[in-house]
Structure 1
Amino acid sequence: MTVTLKHGDKGQPVIDLQNALNKQGAQLRLDGIYGDGTEAAVKAYQLKAGLVADGIAGPKTQARLLGVNDTKHLQHSDLLKAAGQLEVSLASVYAINEVESQGQGFLPNGKAKILFERHVFRERLQAAGHDISKLEAQYPNLVNTTAGGYSGGTAEWQRLALARQIDETAALESASWGAFQIMGYHWQHLGYESVQAFVAAMSESEGQQLEAFVRFILADTALHNALKARKWAKVAELYNGPAYKRNLYDIKLARAYERHAAEDLAKEAA
């Protein structure tokens, strides 16, 4: 598994990164220190390659340096489009993507990242008229009054596959999808023709996953207004729920925005 490298890291992986960047035109000293110079070189390469230019050398950036071009990955152009749709600065979108996304939107096997919610599945099945008591007894890990039973990674797709045998639509609606973990049951509210169409979009690219997230924000006037006003505590509360304080989402959003906004100003000054 590729190790994500960022400012402050040291060691052989950083030397390998610096060497790869030098092959792309950077002129870094191979000192194994991920300092300002290396970070700047990473951002310059990311912009050149059309990637999200956050200065963090994650799996996507390192794969592109090795010549692997995966169109499923989020692109800088996707964030530019999102900023226009939301009528906010690019720095705001970068901050939102950095803090609110779950990183990779796809698993190593190419499938979209999902998390199956058994308590949601129970609710959807009940609404569809299924015999809940029988299903709860037979499939407690799939149909339950409480959240849990998570297997993680590709094993979540195995849970989903079993749930689809009971009720396909309810199963797809009961999973959260992609980097921004949008629940399937939002499909109609977000303007998709069906939950199947939503899932197809989430399986296409991280750009489509970001599009769903943008639709989610636009569908919530209070959330959209908070984002436009950069009221980060309100953004965090509306998107993450009351627990946002425990995870410092508002502080992370504010700091990420300030950093990206300062970088944008520096570019303009140059």
Structure 2
Amino acid sequence: MTILRHGDRGQDVRTLQNRLNDRLKAGLDATGLFDDATEAAVRTFQRGAGLVDDGIVGTKTQAALTGVGTTLLLGAGNLAAAAQRLGLPLATVYAVNEVESAGAGFLANGKPKILFERHQMYRQLCTPRSPDDDAAELKRHADELVALSPSLINPTPGGYAGGTAEHQRLAQARMIDDTAALESTSWGAFQIMGYHATRLGYESVQDFAAAMASGEPAQFDAFVRFIEADPALLKALKARKWADFAKSYNGPAYARNLYDVKLERAYARHTEAMGEKAA
């Protein structure tokens, strides 16, 4: 499904304008150009539908335009609450959500987006969890499991299946060790790893996984907790040092993927759209 945004042209934009006219009586000229008036109408529709009013027509907005429900989806109120909680301009939170989220936190079948990491499973199985644990014995057992299930437990990354098949991999791994498997999975729109669960204030990784399956607002809350737990991340956001934030959050490949540039541009666009609210 094509993502539409300001400046785009073509038949998809014309179809969007006609749908907005039908749903909102927006009075748009169906020119096929995603202009300022079209973006304003998109934001109005998104607010009314309980979505994040970012002016970008992605899969969630397109689905809502056809009547699909938005109960599990992230809304503008969630972002406003996060901005207040973190002490950040609203435009900063909108920019980070736009650039750092995976677009949607759930698959078409209603399950949360996940990615199971077999190398993390190996690491978690090797990690002592109590004073009585013998690190050498844990490693020996993990190595035995590598020989039996290399696609699920392995010192090297890989074995990804993608989409719903990742849930099958996770289910198999949970039969080996439930906690280690959940810890070795990244969850939701922001792909927060399960091994962060207790550090972020969840009672257990099982509690964290249940929250990630409850809706995008809970997934976004985990992302906010992640920022709160890392003073350097929050400091970079408050100073709008996009490269510092992107390097810390996305890793050394941030520059190649232009995360800092995307964040800066998104912030500027949302600041202009919000006016005084982003000051």
TM range (shorter): over 0.9
Equivalent residues in 2 for 1:76-155, closer than 5 Å: 76-127=76-127, 129=138, 131-155=141-165
Q: How many residue pairs were aligned? A: 267
Give the distance between the partners of 1:266 and 1:190, measured in 2 at CA. 32
Q: Residue 15 in 1 paired to residue 14 in 2?
A: yes
Shift of residue 205, structure 1, vs aligned partner? 0.9
Q: For the Cα contact (< 8 Å) 2:94–2:267, is it kept in 1?
A: yes
Q: For the Cα contact (< 8 Å) 2:42–2:57, is it kept in 1?
A: yes
2:181 to 160, 171, 176: 171
* SS of residue matched to 2:31: coil
Structure 1 stretches of at least 4 aligned residues deviating more than 6 Å after TM superposition: none
1:251 to 231, 236, 261: 261
Q: For the Cα contact (< 8 Å) 2:52–2:75, is it kept in 1?
A: yes
Give the distance between the partners of 1:173 and 1:267, measured in 2 at CA. 38
Give the distance between the partners of 2:10 and 2:246, measured in 1 at CA. 35
Letter of the structure 2 residue corresponding to residue 134 of structure 1: E
Letter of the structure 2 residue corresponding to residue 10 of structure 1: R
Shift of residue 266, structure 1, vs aligned partner? 7.2
Shift of residue 182, structure 1, vs aligned partner? 0.3
Give the distance between the partners of 1:245 and 1:267, measured in 2 at CA. 29
1:194 to 201, 204, 228: 204
Shift of residue 37, structure 1, vs aligned partner? 2.2
Extract unaligned runs of 5+ from structure 2: 129-137
Letter of the structure 2 residue corresponding to residue 53 of structure 1: D
Letter of the structure 1 residue corresponding to residue 108 of structure 2: P
The TM-score, its normalising length taken from structure 2, stands at 0.91
Q: Deviations over 1:9-37 (max 9, x none)?
A: 33333232212101222011222332222
* SS of residue matched to 2:159: coil
Letter of the structure 2 residue corresponding to residue 68 of structure 1: V
Give the distance between the partners of 2:101 and 2:256, measured in 1 at CA. 17
Give the distance between the partners of 2:233 and 2:11, measured in 1 at CA. 43
Q: Which residue of 1 aligns with 2:53?
A: 53
Give the distance between the partners of 1:111 and 1:132, measured in 2 at CA. 29
Q: Which residue of 2 aligns with 1:6?
A: 5
Q: Which residue of 2 aligns with 1:262?
A: 272
Q: For the Cα contact (< 8 Å) 2:51–2:70, is it kept in 1?
A: no
Shift of residue 267, structure 1, vs aligned partner? 7.8
Letter of the structure 2 residue corresponding to residue 59 of structure 1: T
* SS of residue matched to 2:198: coil
Q: Deviations over 1:75-118 (max 9, x none)?
A: 00110011011110100000100111111111111100001100
Letter of the structure 2 residue corresponding to residue 114 of structure 1: I
* SS of residue matched to 1:115: strand
Give the distance between the partners of 1:245 and 1:10, measured in 2 at CA. 29
Q: Which residue of 1 aligns with 2:170?
A: 160
Letter of the structure 1 residue corresponding to residue 172 of structure 2: L
Give the distance between the partners of 1:195 and 1:96, measured in 2 at CA. 25
Q: Which residue of 1 aligns with 2:133?
A: none
Shift of residue 55, structure 1, vs aligned partner? 1.1
* SS of residue matched to 1:189: helix
Extract unaligned runs of 5+ from structure 1: none
Q: CA RMSD in A?
A: 1.6
Shift of residue 53, structure 1, vs aligned partner? 1.1
Q: Deviations over 1:130-162 (max 9, x none)?
A: 712221111111111111111111111111011
Give the distance between the partners of 2:95 and 2:9, measured in 1 at CA. 25
